[in-house]
Amino acid sequence: MKETKFIEQNKEKWMEFEDMLRENRHDPEKLNDLFIQITDDLSYARTFYPNRSVRMYLNTLAQRVFHNIYRGKRFPAERLRRFWTDELPQLFWEERRALLLSFCLFALAFGIGVVSSMINPDFARIVLGDGYVEMTIENIEKGDPMAVYKDSGPFGMSVSIAGRNLFVAFQTAILGVLASLGTVFILLYNGIMVGAFQYFFVERGVFWESFLTIWIHGTLEISAIIIAGTSGMVAGSGLLFPGTYTRGQAFQVSMRRGLKIFFGIVPIIILAAFFESFFTRYTETPDVLRAAFILTSLAFVLWYFMWLPRHKAKTGAFREPVHDKELPPKREHTIDFRGIKSAGEILSDTFSVLRRRFRLTFLSLAAATTCFGFWAFGLSTKVPADTFLYTDLPFWPFDILIATGQIFGTEHVPYLFVFQAIILCFLTLSAFRALELEMDTEQRPPYNLPRMLLALLPLLLPMPGFIALLTMNSGSVISMVVYPFLALWSAVIYFETLNPFTALTRAFRLMRWGQGLLIGFLMIVFNMLLFVFIEFPVWDRTLEFFSWLVPRTEGAMESYRMIATTCAAVFILYFVFILIVLSGALQYFSGREVADADSLREEIEKVGASRQIRGLARE
List the one residue out of 526, 523, 533 whose CA is nearest residue 175: 533
Cβ-in-10-Å burial (0-12, 13-18, 19+) of 468 comes to buried
| Percent of the chain scoring above 70 in pLDDT | 81
Asked if residue 384 and residue 275 are part of one domain, the reply reads no
**Per the domain annotation, does 240 fall within a domain?**
yes
**Per the domain annotation, does 618 fall within a domain?**
no
Asked if residue 118 and residue 60 are part of one domain, the reply reads no
Given a cut of 80, whether residue 557 has pLDDT beyond it is: yes
pLDDT class of 103 with cuts at 50, 70, 90? very high
Q: Name which residue leads in pLDDT, 438 or 615.
A: 438
Asked if residue 205 and residue 59 are part of one domain, the reply reads no
Instruction: Give the three-class secondary structure for 538.
Output: helix
pLDDT class of 619 with cuts at 50, 70, 90? very low
The residue out of 71, 96, 116 marking a domain boundary is 71
Average pLDDT over residues 321-333: 53
Asked if residue 381 and residue 275 are part of one domain, the reply reads no
List the one residue out of 408, 427, 417, 363 whose CA is nearest residue 585: 427
pLDDT class of 319 with cuts at 50, 70, 90? low
Q: Residue 72: what pLDDT?
A: 45
Q: Residue 395: what pLDDT?
A: 39
Q: Could you report the per-residue pLDDT of 12-51, keeping only the tens digit for each?
A: 877 777 777 666 655 666 666 667 777 778 778 777 776 6
* DSSP strand pairing (612-613 vs 616-617): antiparallel
Given a cut of 60, whether residue 76 has pLDDT beyond it is: no
Mean pLDDT of the chain: 79
Given a cut of 80, whether residue 225 has pLDDT beyond it is: yes
Asked if residue 86 and residue 59 are part of one domain, the reply reads no
**Per the domain annotation, does 439 fall within a domain?**
yes
**Per the domain annotation, does 605 fall within a domain?**
no
Question: What is the full DSSP assignment across 465-502?
Answer: HHHHHHHT-TTHHHHHHHHHHHHHHHHHHHHT-S-HHH
Bridge partners of residue 617, in order along the sequence: 612
CA atoms within a 13 Å half-sphere pointing along the CA-CB vector of 359: 1
Question: Rounded to the nearest 10 degrees, how much is the dihedral formed by the CA atoms of 479, 434, 488, 455?
Answer: 100
**Per the domain annotation, does 20 fall within a domain?**
yes
CA 408 vs CA 166, 411, 474, 529, 530: distances in Å: 30, 11, 17, 21, 19
Average pLDDT over residues 541-558: 78
Given a cut of 70, whether residue 412 has pLDDT beyond it is: yes
Asked if residue 486 and residue 347 are part of one domain, the reply reads yes
Given a cut of 80, whether residue 599 has pLDDT beyond it is: no
* Maximum Cα interatomic distance, the chain, rounded to a whole number of Å: 99
Given a cut of 90, whether residue 369 has pLDDT beyond it is: yes
Asked if residue 65 and residue 136 are part of one domain, the reply reads no
Q: Residue 209: what pLDDT?
A: 87
Distance of CA 355 to the CA centre of its chain: 18
**Per the domain annotation, does 496 fall within a domain?**
yes
**Per the domain annotation, does 216 fall within a domain?**
yes
Given a cut of 80, whether residue 565 has pLDDT beyond it is: yes
Q: 266 and 166 in contact (C-beta within 8 Å)?
A: yes
SS (H, E, C) 565-608: HHHHHHHHHHHHHHHHHHHHHHHHHHHHHHHHCHHHHHHHHHCC
Given a cut of 80, whether residue 240 has pLDDT beyond it is: yes
Q: Residue 398: what pLDDT?
A: 40
Average pLDDT over residues 165-172: 80
Given a cut of 70, whether residue 560 has pLDDT beyond it is: yes
Domain that holds residue 85: 80-141+150-314
Asked if residue 117 and residue 57 are part of one domain, the reply reads no
Q: Could you report the per-residue pLDDT of 104-162, keeping only the tens digit for each?
A: 999 999 999 999 999 988 888 888 888 888 888 888 888 888 777 777 777 777 777 88
Q: Residue 396: what pLDDT?
A: 41
| Percent of the chain scoring above 90 in pLDDT | 16
Asked if residue 106 and residue 44 are part of one domain, the reply reads no
Q: Residue 25: what pLDDT?
A: 58
Given a cut of 70, whether residue 260 has pLDDT beyond it is: yes
The residue out of 46, 71, 96 marking a domain boundary is 71
CA–CA separation, 144 and 287 (whole Å): 15
Q: Residue 277: what pLDDT?
A: 84
Asked if residue 413 and residue 292 are part of one domain, the reply reads no
Q: What kind and span of H or E run contains 298? A: helix 287-302
CA–CA separation, 285 and 359 (whole Å): 64
Number of domains into which the chain is organized: 3
Q: Residue 375: what pLDDT?
A: 92
Asked if residue 349 and residue 209 are part of one domain, the reply reads no
pLDDT class of 614 with cuts at 50, 70, 90? very low
Given a cut of 50, whether residue 394 has pLDDT beyond it is: no
Asked if residue 295 and residue 157 are part of one domain, the reply reads yes
**Per the domain annotation, does 327 fall within a domain?**
no
